[in-house]
Amino acid sequence: MRFVTTFPLLLSLLLLTHGAPSSEKPLPLVIWHGLGDTYDSEGIQSVGDLFNVLYPSTFVYPIRLASSSSSDRSATFLGDVNAQLEAVCADLAELPELAEGFNAVGFSQGGQFLRGYVERCNNPPLKTLVTFGSQHNGIAEFIARCEPGDWVCAGARSLLKGSKWSALVQSRVVPAQYFRDPEQIDEYLEHSNWLADVNNEREEKNKTYKSNLETLERFVMFMFADDETVVPMETSWWAEVNRTSGVVTPLRESRIYTEDWLGLRKLDLQGRLEFETVPGKHMRFEEGVLKRVFEIYFGPKGKKGEWHWRGKQSEEL
């Protein structure tokens, strides 16, 4: 979903108060935006600006699926995620600034797509991945509404209402490719064009997906406390919700974790998997949240794994 924040005031304050940059330089930052957003939107650009205020001259790259804003936005609704991910893999591999590795932040669907990057290619290597409101365990409901006159969104929504498991919709409508209703699990496993594969849920497991994901130094999943856009919101923590009873099955109680299909259990036992919460609705950021995230996870100390969101060190920031 589109990024909404109030960064201009924060950026102005930081420009006035931020001290001399650290002699240690953090890794480059890659950003993947969400549904309906663009790589050059004001919100996404402000994320890069904030990072550069904290860490001047550090390379920042917002992922783009097309060269124009309108086409990039359309690609968040319509397209084959497998082809899009392949194009991103090739794009990042050609950037010399990323050759030694990079950190990344994924907003909404951009988060699970970055995870897909790690599993399928990871060259250059992604070190620390932070996701906000991402749908790691899929969605059980589609787009609630579209803005008046947003024909791309309306067109995608219309296709979704038709036949979500058809080959046409699964290969063409982006949100359909991470639709996962626990009450339709058989249909999902048979027809899902993307999520069932990258989540290693089918009978034949991809060992490369697991070994690649296990290389992450840190994998941090943030859930918005008042998220009403993503259904269920617990998917941001890779949980599953019974739509009838409302019972939540946490990741740690699922087979993907207990049988370690993707290496998540290994990451967790080694302290490299974090489940965190931020206040607010989906993609509505309070001032200071991303600044803390950048300092804790992407700064020189953060990349060594010394700071944590709820730890003593982070409280001192």
Which CATH number goes with the domain that contains 247? 3.40.50.1820
Clarify whether 108 is annotated catalytic: yes
Phi/psi for 183 (5° steps) reads: -80, -10
**Degrees to nearest 5, angle at CA 277 with 266 and 232:** 85
Amino acid at 194: W
- pLDDT at site 261: 99
Q: Is the pLDDT of residue 146 over 90?
A: no
Query: Is position 185 within any domain?
Result: yes
In the predicted structure, residue 32 carries a pLDDT above the cut 80: yes
Catalytic residue among 136, 191, 282, 308: 282
Provide the domain count of the chain: 1
Answer whether residue 36 is part of any domain: yes
Residue 2 lies in a domain: no
pLDDT of 252 > 90? The answer is yes
| Residue 163 resides in a domain | yes
pLDDT tens digit sequence for 184-194: 999 999 999 99
- Any catalytic annotation for residue 191? no
What is the reported pLDDT for 131?
Answer: 99
Q: Which of 108, 134, 192, 236 is catalytic?
A: 108
The confidence score (pLDDT) of residue 156 equals 80
Band of the pLDDT at 313, cuts 50, 70, 90?
very low
* pTM beyond 0.85, yes or no: yes
Which tokens go with 136? Answer: 């790691």
pLDDT bracket for residue 152 (50, 70, 90) = confident
Distance CA 144, CA 202 (A): 29
Which of 137, 115, 130, 140 shows the shortest CA–CA distance to 276? 130
pLDDT in tens, 183-222: 999 999 999 999 999 999 999 999 999 999 999 999 999 9
Which one-letter amino acid corresponds to residue 197? Answer: D
Q: Would you say 308 and 286 are in contact if contact means Cβ atoms under 8 Å apart? A: no
Catalytic residue among 72, 197, 227, 260: 227
pLDDT at 317 over 50: no
List the single range of 106-120, 131-145, 270-284 with lowest mean pLDDT: 131-145
Is 176 inside a domain boundary?
yes
Which pLDDT score, from 0 to 100, does residue 121 have?
98
* Residue 234 domain flag: yes
DSSP the chain: ---B--HHHHHHHHHHH--PPPSSPPPPEEEE--TT--TTSHHHHHHHHHHHHHSTT--EEE--SSSSHHHHHHHHHBS-HHHHHHHHHHHHHT-GGGTT-EEEEEETHHHHHHHHHHHHT-SSPEEEEEEES--TT-BSS------TT-HHHHHHHHHHHH-TTSHHHHHHBGGGGGB--GGGHHHHHHH-SSHHHHTT-SSS--HHHHHHHTT-SEEEEEEETT--SSSSGGGGGT-EE-TTT--EE-GGGSHHHHTTSSSHHHHHHTT-EEEEEESSSTTBPPTTHHHHHIIIIISTTGGGT---TTSHHHHT-
Is the bond preceding residue 124 a cis peptide, omega within 30 degrees? yes
Distance (Å, whole) CA 225 – CA 260: 27
Among 79-83, 101-105, 122-126, 313-317, name the one with the lowest average pLDDT.
313-317
> Does 116 reside within a domain?
yes
Closest of 44, 91, 43, 48 to residue 66, by C-alpha: 91
Residue 119 has pLDDT above 60, yes or no: yes
Q: pLDDT digit string (tens) for 290-312? A: 999 999 999 876 555 556 666 54
Summarised one tens digit per residue, pLDDT across range 9-28 is 455 444 444 544 455 789 99
Q: Token pair 């036992």 is at which residue?
A: 269
% of the chain residues with pLDDT over 90: 77
Instruction: Please enumerate in sequence order all residues whose Cβ is within 8 A of that of 200, keeping only pairs 6 or more positions apart, or say none.
Output: 206, 209, 210, 256, 261, 262
Look up the domain containing 286 and give its range.
7-15+25-315
Q: Is residue 108 part of a domain?
A: yes
What is the identity of the amino acid at 169?
A: V
Question: With contact defined as beta carbons under 8 Å apart, do 181 and 191 qualify?
Answer: no
pLDDT value of residue 16: 46
